[in-house]
Amino acid sequence: MDSVGVAPLLASQHQDIPTVFSIGDFWLLRLKLNCVMKRTLKKEVSHMLAVLGDFGRLDLRHLLAISTKLKQNYIKGGFPEANLTVIPRGISILTRCF
């Protein structure tokens, strides 16, 4: 979803399609914070307000993070802890395969 924006997400939610966000990196946090901007200051501010306005309309109650560390970073970025659940991916290195 990186660089896509919130339009497809809003469209699916507008159609009452349940959404669950699987978070394996910082794409949603970057989208919220709008960190990467290559515009003049005036355009930067107006673009940021527009993106954050759209972002505020997203239903972000169901967020699945792949690690506790990633969850902590999203909490620091302003996402409610109650909305984040950690479901690790992968195989434990302590698991023995036969």
| Domain range annotation of the chain | 7-86
How confident is the model over 74-89, as a mean pLDDT? 92
**6: Cα separation from own chain's centroid:** 10
Is-contact 15 59, C-beta < 8 A?
no
Rounded to an integer, what distance in angstroms lies between the CA atom of residue 77 and that of residue 29? 7
Mean pLDDT of the chain: 75
| Pairing label, strands 84-86, 63-65 | parallel
Of 50, 79, 48, nearest to 62 by C-alpha is 79
pLDDT band at 76 (very low <50, low <70, confident <90, very high): very high
pLDDT for 28 equals: 81
Q: What is the pTM of this model?
A: 0.61
Q: How is residue 91 written in tokens?
A: 């195989």
| Structure confidence at residue 37 (pLDDT) | 46
**b (16+ CB within 10 A) / e for 46-68:** eeeeebeeebeebebeebebbee
Q: How high is the pLDDT of residue 12? A: 83
